[in-house]
Amino acid sequence: MIDHRSPRTVLVTGATAGIGRFIALDLAARGHRVFATGRNPRALAELGSEAANRKLPLTVAELDVTSSESIARLAAAIRTQTAGHGVDVVINNAGYGQGGALLDLSDATLRAQFETNVFGLMAVTRNFTPEMVARGRGWIVNVSSVGGRVTFPFFGAYHASKYAVEALSDALRAELHPLGVRVSLVEPGPIRSEFSERAFGSLPASDGSSYAGSYALAGGIRTATDRASFGPEHVARAVRLAIGSRFPRARYVAPWFLAMPLALLPLVPTRVLDALFRRVFGLRRTAPAQLQRATSALLGVIAIALGLTVSARADAASGWETLRNQDGITVSRRDVPGSPFVALRGEGDVDAPLLTVGSVLVDVARDHEWIDDIVEARVLRRVSETEYVVYSHLGTPPTMSDRDFVVDVTISADAPSRTIAVRMHSVDDPAAPKTDYVRADLEESSFVLTASADGSKTHVVAEMHADPKGSIAAWIVNLFQKNWGYNTIANLRKQLRKPGIGISAPLQSLLASRGFSP
């Protein structure tokens, strides 16, 4: 049973900033007696002043987890201040992330990472458990990371240390259980703190490195990570669950909803993950064609653990939430009443006249060249000069069944606004082929093209709302498809730059009949 009302004496390491600071203040505000520790005297003083102003039961103390003398000195001081009771809870939060390709890191740098994150954690645990064991009651919470479950390039030293923390915690959990001490891991995802500043700031100098090109991407990755990060309250909640439960879990992922993507990762072939990581970190020369669709779909899952997602900004007037603005492309999503699947939108300009852009959209036979995951597309039959039925086959990652669509396409044009609209929705049609694929449902999709004032450019708004059918969870679909808007506009731009992009005579005739000027 969760019991936050029972006050306990808690030691928090690494409490001068970020997650540790938030945890220390959060527990003190809930009535626990907290010893908040760290190496930065100034930061400790500021924390102590804040706690005093709020009248919180929090005491600050200097602690260097890599120094056995510092640990022993603090343990003795706390025993004195608690009349020999010691602490009920140890929260091992002190740690940092060392960046850099492993071949660029010195032995001393690699050892320093383990001294803090691994050996320091064990030294603190060893010094503060005797009183818990004597009482037959206590809690140890080791703050690990989702980086202890999955490994990304250029942070191998950090990941190795967190894998070690995971293994040590698993062993401690079994060894201390009969002695009444419970051990839990808290595994934060991307959390707003000073962590990324040190992690990305610790990348070695790129001069002479074989990975200079990849290091150059660090700024962009860090910006995306920081924008996507969650608040430290998610970690504090996980800590409260771990120390407030009679039967705490072995692992608490923070935020909790990252647990499912992490659980799915072992199902992904290693070579697919490797290809994905090479793509994200600029480590690939060329991507194998057979892996491109899989890496595209899996990017969303890995991005959550990495933090390569972006925060949403709601547009109250339209219901659309802006996910990101990049390369002149605005990406948005919108909840659809009665549907678990979100609608997606991409909006941006392309450097081509209206008729040329429209000609690409109606050239169904070449859809596979620029629309993500399209393997085959063809016109089944024409209803009129402005309407036709299309069959499309989409490839999916190896663990999923391919999808196909049968779609009605209609074209409309408005000369006064210099606009073309291409709208699509799924239909049942006798000309549709019988296949073994899952027949998905395109609820509604559209491309609205508007010519610029001088006619040299076209503003494109692409929207899509689809149900892939089958047994895929809606949240996975929404996650995988979130880049659809960006990819669609970006791919359209690339297609328009290819040689041999012609003008559709039927579309040209239609526009002329609607009063468009040449």
In sequence order, the β-bridge partners of residue 458 are 350, 451
- What is the SS3 assignment for 28? helix
Task: Report the Cα 360 to chain-centroid distance in Å.
Answer: 33
- Asked whether the beta carbons of 26 and 51 are under 8 A apart, the reply is no
Among 148, 137, 211, residue whose Cα is nearest residue 180: 137
With residues binned 3-state (H G I as helix, E B as strand, rest as coil), the percentages for the chain, rounded to 5, are 40, 25, 35
**Dist CA 139 CA 91 (whole Å):** 8
* H or E stretch covering 72: helix 68-81
- What is the SS3 assignment for 16? coil
* H or E stretch covering 438: strand 438-439
**Dist CA 193 CA 203 (whole Å):** 18
**Dist CA 347 CA 331 (whole Å):** 7
| Tokens linked to 360 | 């690409």
Cβ-proximal residues to 354 (8 Å cutoff; 6+ apart), any chain: 418, 420, 449, 450, 451, 455, 458
Cβ-proximal residues to 102 (8 Å cutoff; 6+ apart), any chain: 110, 156, 157
Of 158, 211, 215, 252, catalytic: 158
345 to each of 23, 276, 280, 303, 342, how far by Cα in Å? 39, 24, 23, 20, 10
Q: What is the CA radius of gyration of the chain?
A: 28
**Dist CA 253 CA 148 (whole Å):** 11
Count CA atoms closer than 13 A to 452's CA, side-chain side: 13
Tell me if residue 158 is catalytic.
Answer: yes
| Residue numbers annotated as active site | 158
